[in-house]
Amino acid sequence: MKIKTEQIHFSEGLSLESGEKLDSFDLIIESYGELNESKSNAILLCHAFSGNHHAAGEDKELGIGWWDQIVGPKKAIDTEKYYVVCCNNLGGCAGSSGPTTINAATNKVFGKDFPLVTVDDWVNSQKMLMDKLDIPYWHLVAGGSLGGMQALQWSIAYPNKIKKAGIFAAAAKSSTQNIAMNEVARESIRKDKNFHNGDYYDHNVTPKNGIKTARMLGHITYLSEELMDSRFGRKFQDEASKVDQDVDFEVENYLQYKGEKFSEFFDANSYILMTKAMDGYDAGKDRDLEKAMENIKAELLIVGFYSDWLYPAERGKEIQIAGMNNNIKSSFVVFDGEHGHDSFLFHSKEYSNVIKKFIES
Amino acid sequence: MATKLSKIINHWVPENSKVIDFGCGDGSLLKELIETKNILGYGVEINNLKIEKCIEKGVPVIKQDIDKGMNEFKSSNFDLSIMARSIQCLKNPDLALNRMLELSKRCVVTLPNLGYWRCRINLASGKMPVTPELPSSWYETENIHLCTIKDFENLCKKENIKIKDKVFLNKDGSRGGLASIKPNLLAVEGVYLLEK
């Protein structure tokens, strides 16, 4: 599969929900497949909090895309039939404007001064991207977790620009427990001695330990208890492959390894920004969800997983019910999902079939 | 769904109405109503393969175990709720009937008749009925609350549910004829339009 990577500059800037303004910004995007003549086959993928624009295929630097099991030739989201676009969200650290990019006004990296971005801001920037790519509407906007929130927000914010929304392992707003977990993660970053109140770039260090601990906690919340049991159980890590001498159990080794890898590339200020965006999203805003959804024209497919305790399936159902109360064509499907919250990333025959049939129906 | 049954139900469904079909199976009935009556239809189904068929047809569907509740659909203002050949599979058919009539002013219920003469012959010979309409053995059937036409109408009376219309089906799915002469003995299936 051919991967096309582009860095797109938006000199017109973007007014943010917070009231601040980005005078200009960049989005890095990948696209797969071709836009057809009638421009009716465009699909936008929205990534979850630590994801990026590399959704599918294999890249030398970025490895296998985060949704490669679902997106590709002849897969559920078929790149032979659809023109599929994915961008790194604003505030990220994979090439779009974010804390690690240079602020033109100061000629220094934004760092902690990168403005607070929200799901609404992301959707607005993706709309600008859509216009720039000369795409009249998305046949589908889809994503899991925080990506699902963007798909929902797309259907609310731009009802005429989206035909279908795929909202997977997501909710209309983060729960109190979600916010609490994220705060522990942020606290571990802030309390890292190398964080320097967010100005670690000046000191040529990164708060690696803080990011690592944050990610380790994250991984626990992404997996199900059952999967952890079956995958690691209480097995001891063998001496030869221990990443750290303090490690006893396999599960410790796994978390250490995953945390370490993540801390090598993910920016701490991005971590804080992205989790803040996740915590802050509430599709209902100060109104109720039903009211917020009243203008949706897109068909909705909401998928939940029984093994997901971070964004339980019931949260997805609330979106479906609010949709149905508004006479929106909306479906709610639940699968067992072996991988807890992460289940949305993985192919299973029934999950892929439902996505494929929803796109083509 | 047999086309004859869907024709009967079709007759009771107002144009452009909002309909919920409990135990919607592969979504055929809703699909037909969408095409012929321009309804806004939602199916409720528990089987993932059937859910997939609904989505393939473009019929909105909700995965839900009806036994675990129907209250969440209350705020959706349905004109009609349908439960075709499913009520006998529920833990609390009486509750389900009342719930449906809280969701919508009217509901359509169809059920297999255990009083059908073939079933009676089976029972008379000392065995649980196994007929073309009720093909599963007692230990594998999903039908945990089978009843006769008489039983069902008694339940409606007890619950103050009005029978606005009813149709009885013969073995071949046709209506009227023998089945309507003595439904409790001769009808294979009862089809009801109910109102509270």
Report the residue from A330, A334, A357 with minimal CB separation from B56. A357
Q: What is the pLDDT of residue A251?
A: 96
Average pLDDT over residues A136-148: 98
Collect all residues of chain B within an 8 Å Cβ-Cβ radius of residue A168.
none
Domain ranges of chain B: 3-113+145-195
Closest CA to A170 of A188, A157, A190, A153: A153
- Above 60 in pLDDT, residue A15? yes
- Above 70 in pLDDT, residue B1? no
Class of domain B3-113+145-195 (CATH, top level): alpha beta
Query: Is 3.30.390.10 the CATH classification of the domain at A4-173+281-360?
Result: no
Q: What is the pLDDT of residue A104?
A: 87
Residue A357, chain B, CB below 8 Å: the answer is yes
Q: What is the pLDDT of residue A343?
A: 97
- Above 80 in pLDDT, residue B3? no
Verify whether residue A31 is a known catalytic residue: no
- Above 80 in pLDDT, residue A31? yes
Global pTM? 0.95
Closest CA to A147 of A167, A175, A174, A176: A167
Contact across the interface for B48 and A335, Cβ inside 8 Å: yes
User: What was the ipTM of the complex prediction?
Assistant: 0.93
Q: What is the pLDDT of residue B176?
A: 79
Collect all residues of chain A within an 8 Å Cβ-Cβ radius of residue B64.
332
Question: What helix, strand, coil percent values describe chain A, rounded to 5?
Answer: 40, 20, 40
Contact across the interface for B55 and A334, Cβ inside 8 Å: no
Instruction: Using pLDDT thresholds of 50, 70 and 90, give the confidence band for residue B74.
Output: confident
Among residues of chain B, what percentage have pLDDT more than 70?
Answer: 98
Domain ranges of chain A: 4-173+281-360, 178-276
Average pLDDT over residues B9-20: 96
Closest CA to A73 of A61, A86, A84, A64: A84
Residue A348, chain B, CB below 8 Å: the answer is no
Average pLDDT over residues A224-241: 92
Verify whether residue A145 is a known catalytic residue: yes
Instruction: Using pLDDT thresholds of 50, 70 and 90, give the confidence band for residue B133.
Output: confident
Contact across the interface for A361 and B57, Cβ inside 8 Å: yes
- Residue B75, min C-alpha distance to chain A (Å): 7
Question: What HEC string does chain B produce?
Answer: CCHHHHHHHHHHCCCCCEEEEECCCCCHHHHHHHHHHCCEEEEEECCHHHHHHHHHHCCCEEECCHHHCCHHHHHHCEEEEEEECCHHHCCCHHHHHHHHHHHEEEEEEEEEECCCHHHHHHHHCCCCCCCCCCCCCCCCCCCCCCECHHHHHHHHHHCCCEEEEEEEECCCCCECCHHHHCHHHHCCEEEEEEEC
Instruction: Using pLDDT thresholds of 50, 70 and 90, give the confidence band for residue A333.
Output: very high
CATH assignment, A178-276: 1.10.1740.110
What one-letter code names the amino acid at B78? F
Residue among A53, A54, A339, A341 flagged as catalytic: A341
Residue B40, chain A, CB below 8 Å: the answer is yes
Residue B75, chain A, CB below 8 Å: the answer is yes
CA–CA separation, B12 and B23 (whole Å) = 18
Contact status, residue B33 vs residue B88, Cβ threshold 8 Å = no
Best A333, A334, A352 member to test B by mutation, with max B CBs in 10 Å, is A333
Contact across the interface for B62 and A301, Cβ inside 8 Å: no
CB pairs under 8 A between A and B: 57
Residue A320, chain B, CB below 8 Å: the answer is yes
Average pLDDT over residues A64-85: 98
Reported as a single tens digit per residue, the pLDDT across A173-187 is: 999 999 999 999 999
Q: What is the pLDDT of residue B2?
A: 55
Query: Which range has the worst mean pLDDT, A69-83, B1-15, B23-37, B96-110?
Result: B1-15
Q: Which residues of A342-358 are buried (b: 16+ CB within 10 A; e: fewer)?
A: bbbbeebeebbbbbbbb
Residue among A125, A145, A188, A307 flagged as catalytic: A145
Q: What is the pLDDT of residue B71?
A: 86
